[in-house]
């Protein structure tokens, strides 16, 4: 029996909480919707697809006269690849502002598609800035498209798209934002920003399950992309045409169970009070987590002013810290966290999104306090 089990008896939760940036812990009602099978050609299912498309426009603050929602099978990266591969024409030039793994992934996609791109790189703990973006645009007048990540889950940093996107849009550059882990949890006024493409997925702040991504696209910008796509299945233009012309019909086999779960999650978002209420809940959890971890000797990677409420990165408290033992200890007690993704700092990440509340964060902090206290006292690895 370990020192910890002797010191503090515990009973593991039967279903662990995912303190991760998606997949995340979903509600019982979301889970129950997936117990029924559905057909992809069924009129009810097609009608539900159309309902979801319209509800997402409302969440995005994107008027239906100017914007459309395109659902795309696969993970969030599929949706990002579809957006870049469709939006940027053969003779286009893409500026990518990146400060983490998901910005760099955009660069990888551009390479695969032979898209000419200019990379504006920031440190992983440094936010993208309006001034540097505009300077690069001045230096590269050939740029036709601009892309960046809103919440870079490499660290949890929140890039200031409210300051950046309108200035880029004013120059006539097509704007693309990967809002994968922020959409539905951080307010975004798509129309007011002048966003042309906003990308997210079903298993993030809307609190659904993995299975599809989606793109909120400006209709005028999308109309110019016919024939651009380098992929059959990831062609946003054709996918949207199918939805619009066939009243909600996906071109290829779609994740039926996931769509029903997502629709339930949208209803739960509305019942909670919409994005502002969810943003407030996530923010309370992040602040509680941040302050509690600081008190226990775990320093955040990102400055508080740049921190998102989505996921928080923490530095290892010492060179001897064993993340795998820490992870296993918390998992045994009902909490699953994430390893770090920062390339230059030994770190780990804890998410605040999903069906997670301040009481859950409080219990997590109790277990981390116990682990940290006994680890220091015993001077050895803890099981």
Please give the pLDDT value at position 380. 52
Is the per-residue pLDDT at 379 higher than 60?
no
Beta bridge partners of 157: 152, 307
Q: What is the pLDDT of residues 345-364, one digit of tens each?
A: 999 999 999 999 999 999 99
On whether residue 383 sits in a domain, the answer given is: no
How remote is the C-alpha of 297 from its chain's centroid? Answer: 28
Pair (198, 295) in one structural domain: no
Q: State the pTM of this model.
A: 0.93
Please give the pLDDT value at position 10. 46
> How many structural domains are present in the chain?
2
Pair (104, 230) in one structural domain: yes
Pair (200, 290) in one structural domain: no
Pair (216, 316) in one structural domain: no
Q: What is the CATH number of the domain that holds 76?
A: 3.40.640.10
Q: Which domain holds residue 363?
A: 3-19+274-378
On whether residue 24 sits in a domain, the answer given is: no
On whether residue 25 sits in a domain, the answer given is: no
Pair (259, 354) in one structural domain: no
Pair (260, 306) in one structural domain: no
Q: What is the pLDDT of residues 221-236, one digit of tens each?
A: 999 999 999 999 999 9
Pair (353, 230) in one structural domain: no
On whether residue 332 sits in a domain, the answer given is: yes
Please give the pLDDT value at position 22. 86
On whether residue 63 sits in a domain, the answer given is: yes
Do the beta carbons of residue 219 and residue 67 sit within 8 Å?
A: yes
The residue among 192, 214, 191, 218 whose CA lies nearest residue 204 is: 214
Pair (207, 334) in one structural domain: no
Among the candidates 270, 291, 326, a domain finishes at 270
On whether residue 126 sits in a domain, the answer given is: yes
**How far, in Å, CA of 208 to CA of 56, rounded?**
13
Backbone angles phi, psi at 100, to 5 degrees: 175, -175
Pair (109, 226) in one structural domain: yes
**How far, in Å, CA of 374 to CA of 151, rounded?**
35
Q: What is the dihedral of CA 159, 162, 168, 171, to 10 degrees?
A: -170
Please give the pLDDT value at position 15. 77
Q: What is the pLDDT of residues 301-346, one digit of tens each?
A: 999 999 999 999 999 999 889 999 999 999 999 999 999 988 889 9
Pair (280, 263) in one structural domain: no
On whether residue 371 sits in a domain, the answer given is: yes
Residues 99-115 have a mean pLDDT of 97
The residue among 362, 195, 174, 357 whose CA lies nearest residue 277 is: 357
Is the per-residue pLDDT at 1 higher than 90?
no
**pLDDT band per the 50, 70, 90 thresholds, residue 374:** confident
And the tokens for 188? Answer: 């975004």
Among the candidates 222, 251, 270, a domain finishes at 270
Among the candidates 225, 241, 270, a domain finishes at 270
**pLDDT band per the 50, 70, 90 thresholds, residue 69:** very high
**How far, in Å, CA of 82 to CA of 201, rounded?**
13
Percent of the chain with pLDDT over 90: 90
On whether residue 38 sits in a domain, the answer given is: yes
Pair (81, 225) in one structural domain: yes
Do the beta carbons of residue 125 and residue 312 sit within 8 Å?
A: no
Q: What is the CATH number of the domain that holds 305?
A: 3.90.1150.10
Pair (161, 48) in one structural domain: yes
């Amino acid at each position: 029996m370990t020192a910890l089990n002797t010191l503090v008896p515990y009973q593991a939760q039967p279903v662990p909480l995912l303190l991760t940036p998606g997949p995340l812990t979903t509600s019982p009602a979301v889970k129950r919707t997936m117990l029924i099978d559905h057909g992809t050609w069924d009129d009810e299912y097609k009608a539900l697809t159309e309902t979801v498309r319209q509800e997402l426009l409302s969440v995005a603050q994107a008027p239906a006269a100017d914007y459309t929602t395109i659902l795309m099978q696969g993970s969030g990266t599929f949706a990002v690849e579809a957006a870049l591969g469709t939006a940027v024409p053969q003779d286009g030039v893409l500026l990518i502002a990146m400060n983490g793994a998901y910005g760099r992934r955009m660069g990888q996609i551009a390479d695969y598609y032979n898209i000419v791109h200019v990379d504006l790189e920031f440190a992983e703990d440094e936010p993208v800035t309006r001034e540097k973006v505009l300077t690069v645009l001045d230096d590269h007048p050939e740029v036709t498209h601009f892309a960046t990540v809103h919440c870079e889950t490499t660290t949890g940093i929140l890039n200031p798209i409210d300051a950046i996107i309108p200035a880029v849009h004013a120059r006539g550059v097509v704007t693309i934002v990967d809002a994968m882990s922020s959409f539905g949890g951080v307010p975004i006024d798509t129309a007011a920003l002048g966003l042309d493409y906003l990308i997210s997925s079903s298993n993030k702040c809307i609190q659904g399950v993995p299975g599809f991504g989606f793109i909120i696209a400006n209709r005028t910008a999308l109309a110019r992309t016919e024939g651009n796509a380098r992929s059959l299945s990831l062609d946003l233009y054709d996918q949207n045409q199918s939805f619009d012309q066939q009243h909600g019909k996906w071109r290829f086999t779609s994740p039926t169970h996931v769509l029903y779960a997502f629709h339930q999650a949208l209803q739960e978002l509305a019942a909670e009070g919409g994005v502002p209420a969810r943003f407030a809940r996530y923010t309370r959890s992040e602040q509680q987590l941040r302050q509690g971890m600081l008190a226990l000797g775990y320093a955040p990677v990102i400055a508080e002013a740049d921190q998102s409420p989505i996921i928080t990165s923490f530095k290892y408290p010492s060179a001897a810290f064993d993340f795998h033992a820490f992870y296993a200890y918390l998992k045994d007690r009902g909490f699953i966290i994430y390893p770090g993704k920062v390339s230059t700092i030994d770190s780990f990440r804890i998410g605040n999104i999903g069906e997670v509340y301040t009481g859950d964060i409080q219990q997590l902090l109790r277990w981390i306090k116990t682990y940290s206290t006994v680890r220091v006292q015993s001077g050895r690895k803890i099981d």
